[in-house]
Structures are given as structure tokens and as C-alpha cells.
């Protein structure tokens, strides 16, 4: 049905299988590396990635989408090593986490510059490698869409239209405005995941339904960040509440408008995560769904069909 | 190797004890983020050669020591500084601290974790650079320590942060952290001021940093001089940094003659031991918004002869360029 860019080259959509659409090998905010107690040997990161992705694979997982944007320690060199070692289809992104995470070099750059940068990373490669981005990451700063966020959304919308890759967002804050900006660039909402709808700080069931009705995907993609775990992160939600949030979407008939993932960091950089792994998507979340009587066809929709539809590069 | 440019300078223009010290320069600076895009190539070999040339020039003019006042957030490469020092014989003192708020990453300006960022976490970074060694981020802590803490006030023309918990908050936290680290290590703080230095100086004082351990940079800005700020701050015990020697006339700083007169006036007023001169050059700058001189020789080649010609004594030059800067860099509690 089409192709998807991975860090080891394009693959056919049919090869994707069970897919986690919003994950991180290592995400850090700029400056984390000045606190030397947070440093980790790269060998440890690789070992943890090998172990967690092997768990994911053993449970049936096949494709892993890393959404660490430019400047948050994205490393396609590292991703290629991990991809080869694990056999996981590894998709990297272009784009930015949020405007507030960008570095000053980008602040005065016009939309056209950012658009070209994203297109180059999708069509030529990232960081002088032949590894091409398969998706675009954008995000909302913590007090709502900033001017820099809007500029990034505009550029991302244009690059998505020009290349056929989808957009996944950080946060569901101002969801309708996010979609307005992207649609104004000519992008269909069904090419967009409005992410982290299940972040505990930002739950809004009515918004979820609006996003789904508009044709975009609702990102239930913080699976495993639970208030029951320690240490707490601000975006955690109670496991039951997250499940209920998803079941409501399924009850409303929107199974094909949900994107699920764990957003787990193999090696958080400069922050502390509760114990977490992409494998929780399959060894905890899926059993939770089954316990609620959700049938295998719906589970397949969430884990296989939706990601395949989303990630397949559109003809342009 | 010799880098002397023919007859450009016949020999050392500054002869004294250990050689001249420039307290406010920057060896190498990168606009944060310029390293993230494909079209910008940082040629390390060329960078090294340009810096070697500039530092050899400084040494041949009678220079001994340069303080890299860039802090941690404008692309400092501590291993490059060490190497340059070895090959040129110029002593390079690295600063710890942060550059302008807009260079500080979101780990500090908008930390996502439950606990958030604190003054003491920032102070700890600076203190450990002063006492345990310079950071080569994610990889190594060198044996060389930072010599001073450098902080910067946001200027009117600086870029705004796209989002932050507040520009003034991160700036205030950085100032408090700099004072705590400096006190713990017996080091001094240098603050690059913008429009109103009083607010940041008050924070440093509130943290207990003595005026004589505070270097106020940028006091040769013409309007500050008109307002009498250099004399006032020197009288209060602060170290006064006149650190824009040889900057273009339209940059808003004193011209060469006026700077010489100001220094002589300060000596006349008995405040000559509280003044330093420097040129705020950047040896190699990658993608920085405003072009800045890459010449570390301006103080020795231009200020020194002009100061002598205006009646300044060699003993005064020695105070300005050696005794005062070396005292500032000397730890008050060397055991720390």
C-alpha cells in the first residue's frame, strides 16, 4: 500500500506490524548535559534499548517511531545501531518538540527556512546520513501555542503536504488551533496525531471527541506514565482513568481515530522517569484492553491498522 | 611558529612582571543551534589556526593571560582552550556561568520535571567547575578549573525567549547561583551589564558577595559614563570593567581618548586599583548575530600607547593589566 522511511531506508507498509508511534530513545531538554551527575555511558543506553526493544519485539512489536526532534539529542547514528541490533523497524522524525525547546539559531528563521529543513530531512537525510525522517514532530509550549510554535506548525504543515509524511504533536492543548494551522497549509486532519491527549495535566474528553470528529487521531500515547508509579511526572494519569478515556473513544465509534503509544524514554536525559518501557504497550495495556472485553479486531486497529494508515507516505 | 605580521608591531608593547591579563574576551563562540543544521560546517582545523594566530599575536605584544568570559552556554570548548594554551603559551582562563538568558536551554528556563530547576542546582554546576574541573559535556571533567563565574544581563536588543518561566526569573536565579558558587569557591563573579546594573548587583550583594569580588563589565558604555556609573561603582568597591577597547564608534561605547581619560580620572580619584580594561573580542564566532572583533591585540596595540601618550605611567598600566586582574582571579580560599 506504500512505503515508510526508516533509518535504514524505506520499507513497505506491510512490514510495519505492531507499531508504537510516539517513543524516545533519549530525550533531553537543552542544557541537561551541564549537570554531570545526569551523564550516562552510551553503552548503557544501547544496552537498555536493546533489552527494551527486544521485549517489545518478543511480544509482537515490529516498528518503533522515535519522536525526539531537532536539538533534543536525536541521534540517527545511534538509532541505526539500535535498529540493526534489534531488527525493529526504526522511524526517526524531523521537526521540533516545541518552540520553547528550540535554540536561538532558529528563532529568526522564516517559515520557508524551517520548511526546507524538514523537507531535506525527509527526502535527503538527517545529519549528513542517508537516514530519512518518516514523520514530523511539532508541539505546544506550556502556556499554549507560542509564535514560535505557530511558525513550526506552519512549516511542518507545508513539509507534510510536500512529502506525504504525517505530523505528530506534543500536547493536545489548543487542539483545534493546532489543526487550523495545519489545515491552512493544505494538510488533511487525517495526517495528524494530536498527541498526549492522555497527559494527566491536560485531559479533556470533549476535546478528544472533537479531534476525532474532525478526522485527526487522538494520541493516547503516554501509556505507562501512571500516577501509581514513582517518581511522579507531571503528565502522569491514573491507569484506570486513561483506560476509561480510551474506552469512551472506542464506545463513540472512533477506534480508527486513536493513536496509541507509551512515550517511554529508554534513557531520559537530565530528568527522572518512573520505570517505563515501550513493552508496556503490549504486556500491560493490551491485557487491560482484553480485560475490558475489547476484541482482537479493535486491538489490531489500534496497534497495526491505524499506524500503517498514518505512517504510509502519501502520494504528492 | 611565529605569527608576527612583518612590521605591524616591532616587539612587545607591554613589558612588566608576568605580562598583560585581559579579563573580558571570548576565545570561541557559537550561536546555540547553529551546530544542528546541515548547511553550517564548523571547520575545526581552520578554527584552530585562526585562534592560534590571534593568541600568538597577543603573546608577542606582551600578553600573558586571556579570560574566556563566554561561560557555558555560548559554545565553549574546554579541550580546545587547553590545547590552544599549550601550543601558544598564552594562559587561558575559562569562565563558568551562563551567557545571556536567550542562550540558556529550556532545561533551565522551563524544566519539565516535577521538582523544576533550582538556584542551588545551577550554583552546583558553577561551583564544581570552579573546584572540580571544567565540563566537556556528557563525557569528561578536565583537570583545569574555571577561574571566574560569568553572568550576563539581558540587553534591550537581545532576542526574546520563545517561552520561559520568565526571562527575569532565570536571570535572577543565575545571578544568585553565581554568587553562591563564587563564595563557596573563593572566586569572583563578572557580570556583563545592560541598562541597569543595580538590580543584578543587589542580588549578588544579597547573597553576600563582596563588591571587591564583583567585576562589572560594560561600564565604558557612553551613557553609563555620562551617568557617572564607573566612578560611583568604583567608589562602592566594585571592580569596573572598561572592556570595549577598539569597538566601532557607532556601538555606543567611549572612544579611545575618552576611555584613556576615564582611566586617568579614576586613578586621580584614588580608584585606579578598581579598574580593568579589555576588548570583548571573540576569536572565532560562528553565526553570532552581531559581528565582533577577533583581535586580542587591541588593548596592547592601541590602548597602551594611547594611555602612555596621555601621561599614564607604566606603574599604572601594571596595576590595570596585571595586579588588579590577577588579584581578582586569585582565590580567597584556595583550599576550596
Q: What is the pLDDT of residues A154-171, one digit of tens each?
A: 999 999 999 999 999 999
pLDDT tens string A271-314: 999 999 999 999 999 999 999 999 999 999 999 999 999 999 99
Contact A306, A258 (CB under 8 A): yes
- Position B8 scores a pLDDT of 47
- Position B249 scores a pLDDT of 86
- Position B161 scores a pLDDT of 83
Query: How far does the CA of residue B74 sit from the closest CA of chain A (Å)?
Result: 11
Contact A56, A281 (CB under 8 A): yes
- The residues of chain B scoring below 70 in pLDDT are 1-12, 15-17, 165, 334-336
Domains, chain A: 3-311 (3.20.20.140)
**Residue whose grid cell is 530531512:** A121
**Residue contact A117–B103, C-beta within 8 A:** no
- Position A120 scores a pLDDT of 98
The pLDDT of A32-53, averaged and rounded, is 97
**Residue contact A105–B138, C-beta within 8 A:** no
* Higher local confidence (pLDDT), B16 or A36: A36
CA A165 from centroid of its chain's CA atoms:
13
Tell me how far CA of residue A191 lies from CA of A164, A197, A210, A235, A278, in angstroms.
9, 17, 16, 25, 23
- Position B294 scores a pLDDT of 95
The pLDDT of A29-49, averaged and rounded, is 97
**Residue contact B38–A120, C-beta within 8 A:** yes
- Position B240 scores a pLDDT of 98
- Position B289 scores a pLDDT of 75
- Position B7 scores a pLDDT of 42
The pLDDT of A174-187, averaged and rounded, is 98
Give chain A positions within 8 Å (CB) of B36.
70-71, 103, 105
- Position B162 scores a pLDDT of 79
- Position B15 scores a pLDDT of 65
Give chain A positions within 8 Å (CB) of B139.
39
Query: Mean pLDDT across chain A, nearest whole number?
Result: 97
**Residue contact A105–B287, C-beta within 8 A:** yes
A75: phi then psi, degrees, rounded to nearest 5? -145, 95
Give chain A positions within 8 Å (CB) of B38.
120, 127-128
- Position B5 scores a pLDDT of 39
What secondary structure does DSSP assign to B187-234, as a single string? Answer: --EEEE--S-HHHHHHHHHHTT--GGGEEEE-TTBHHHHHTTHHHHHH
pLDDT tens string A121-146: 999 999 999 999 999 999 999 889 99
The ipTM of this complex is 0.96
Give chain B positions within 8 Å (CB) of A102.
33, 162
Contact A228, A243 (CB under 8 A): no
Give the mutation candidate from B29, B33, B100, B135 for the A interface (greatest A CB count, under 10 A). Answer: B33
The b-or-e profile of A156-180 (16+ CB within 10 A means b, else e) is bbbbbbbbbbbbbbbbbbbbeebbe
Q: How many CB pairs under 8 A join A and B?
A: 100
**Residue contact B163–A36, C-beta within 8 A:** no
Amino acid at each position: 500500500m506504500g512505503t515508510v522511511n526508516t533509518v535504514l531506508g524505506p520499507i513497505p507498509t506491510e512490514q510495519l506490524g505492531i507499531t508504537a508511534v510516539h517513543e524516545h530513545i533519549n530525550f533531553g531538554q537543552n542544557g541537561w548535559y551541564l549537570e554531570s551527575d545526569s551523564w550516562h555511558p552510551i553503552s548503557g543506553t544501547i544496552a537498555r534499548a536493546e533489552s527494551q526493544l527486544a521485549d517489545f519485539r518478543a511480544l509482537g512489536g515490529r516498528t518503533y517511531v522515535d519522536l525526539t526532534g531537532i536539538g533534543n539529542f536525536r541521534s540517527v547514528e545511534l538509532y541505526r545501531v539500535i535498529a540493526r541490533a534489534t531488527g525493529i523497524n526504526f522511524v526517526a522524525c524531523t521537526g521540533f518538540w516545541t518552540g520553547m525547546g528550540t535554540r536561538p539559531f532558529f528563532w529568526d528563521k522564516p517559515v520557508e527556512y524551517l520548511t526546507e529543513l524538514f523537507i531535506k530531512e525527509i527526502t535527503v537525510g538527517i545529519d549528513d546520513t542517508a537516514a530519512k525522517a518518516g514523520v514530523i514532530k511539532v508541539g505546544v509550549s506550556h502556556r499554549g501555542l507560542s509564535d514560535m510554535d505557530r511558525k513550526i506548525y506552519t512549516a511542518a504543515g507545508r513539509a507534510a503536504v510536500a512529502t506525504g509524511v504525517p505530523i505528530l504533536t506534543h500536547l493536545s492543548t489548543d487542539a483545534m488551533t493546532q489543526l487550523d494551522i495545519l489545515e491552512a497549509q493544505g494538510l488533511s486532519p487525517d495526517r495528524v496525531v494530536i498527541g498526549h491527549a492522555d497527559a494527566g495535566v491536560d485531559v479533556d474528553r470533549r476535546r478528544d471527541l472533537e479531534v476525532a470528529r474532525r478526522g485527526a487521531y487522538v494520541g493516547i500515547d503516554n501509556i505507562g506514565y501512571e500516577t501509581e508509579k514513582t517518581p511522579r511526572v507531571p503528565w502522569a494519569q491514573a491507569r484506570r482513568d486513561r483506560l476509561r478515556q480510551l474506552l469512551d473513544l472506542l464506545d463513540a465509534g472512533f477506534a480508527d481515530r486513536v493513536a496509541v503509544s507509551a512515550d517511554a524514554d529508554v534513557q531520559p536525559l537530565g530528568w527522572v522517569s518512573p520505570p517505563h518501557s515501550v513493552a508496556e504497550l503490549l504486556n500491560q495495556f493490551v491485557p487491560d484492553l482484553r480485560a475490558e472485553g475489547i476484541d482482537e479486531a479493535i486491538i489490531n486497529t489500534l496497534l497495526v491498522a491505524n499506524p500503517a494508515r498514518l505512517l504510509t507516505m502519501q502520494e504528492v | 611558529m611565529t605569527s608576527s605580521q612583518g612590521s605591524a608591531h616591532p616587539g612587545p608593547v607591554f613589558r612588566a612582571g608576568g605580562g598583560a591579563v585581559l579579563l573580558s574576551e571570548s576565545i570561541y563562540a557559537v550561536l546555540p543551534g547553529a551546530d544542528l543544521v546541515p548547511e553550517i560546517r564548523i571547520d575545526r582545523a581552520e578554527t584552530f589556526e585562526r585562534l592560534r594566530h590571534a593568541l600568538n599575536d597577543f603573546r608577542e605584544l606582551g600578553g600573558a593571560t586571556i579570560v574566556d568570559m563566554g561561560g557555558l552556554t555560548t559554545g565553549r570548548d574546554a579541550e580546545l582552550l587547553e590545547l590552544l594554551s599549550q601550543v601558544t603559551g598564552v594562559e587561558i582562563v575559562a569562565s563558568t556561568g551562563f551567557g545571556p538568558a536567550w542562550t540558556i536551554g529550556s532545561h533551565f528556563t522551563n524544566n519539565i520535571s516535577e521538582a523544576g530547576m533550582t538556584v542551588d542546582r545551577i550554583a552546583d554546576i558553577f561551583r564544581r567547575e570552579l573546584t572540580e574541573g571544567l565540563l566537556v559535556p556528557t563525557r569528561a571533567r578536565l583537570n583545569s578549573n574555571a577561574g571566574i563565574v560569568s553572568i550576563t544581563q539581558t540587553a534591550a536588543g537581545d532576542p526574546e525567549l520563545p517561552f520561559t518561566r520568565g526571562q527575569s526569573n532565570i536571570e535572577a536565579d543565575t545571578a544568585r547561583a553565581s554568587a553562591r558558587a563564587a563564595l563557596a569557591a573563593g572566586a569572583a563573579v563578572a557580570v556583563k551589564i545592560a541598562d541597569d546594573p543595580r538590580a543584578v548587583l543587589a542580588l549578588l550583594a544579597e547573597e553576600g558577595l563582596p563588591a571587591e569580588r564583583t567585576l562589572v563589565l560594560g561600564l565604558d558604555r557612553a551613557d553609563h559614563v555620562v551617568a557617572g556609573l564607573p566612578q560611583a561603582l568604583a567608589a562602592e568597591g566594585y571592580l569596573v570593567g572598561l572592556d570595549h577597547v577598539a569597538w566601532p564608534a557607532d556601538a555606543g561605547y567611549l572612544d579611545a581618548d575618552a576611555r584613556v581619560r576615564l582611566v586617568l580620572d579614576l586613578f586621580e580619584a584614588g580608584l585606579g586599583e578598581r579598574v580593568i580594561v579589555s576588548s570583548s573580542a571573540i576569536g572565532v564566532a560562528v553565526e553570532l548575530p552581531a559581528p565582533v572583533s577577533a583581535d586580542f591585540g587591541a588593548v596592547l596595540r592601541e590602548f597602551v600607547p594611547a594611555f602612555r601618550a596621555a601621561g599614564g605611567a607604566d606603574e599604572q598600566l601594571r596595576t590595570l593589566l596585571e595586579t588588579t586582574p590577577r588579584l581578582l582571579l586569585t582565590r580567597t580560599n584556595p583550599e576550596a
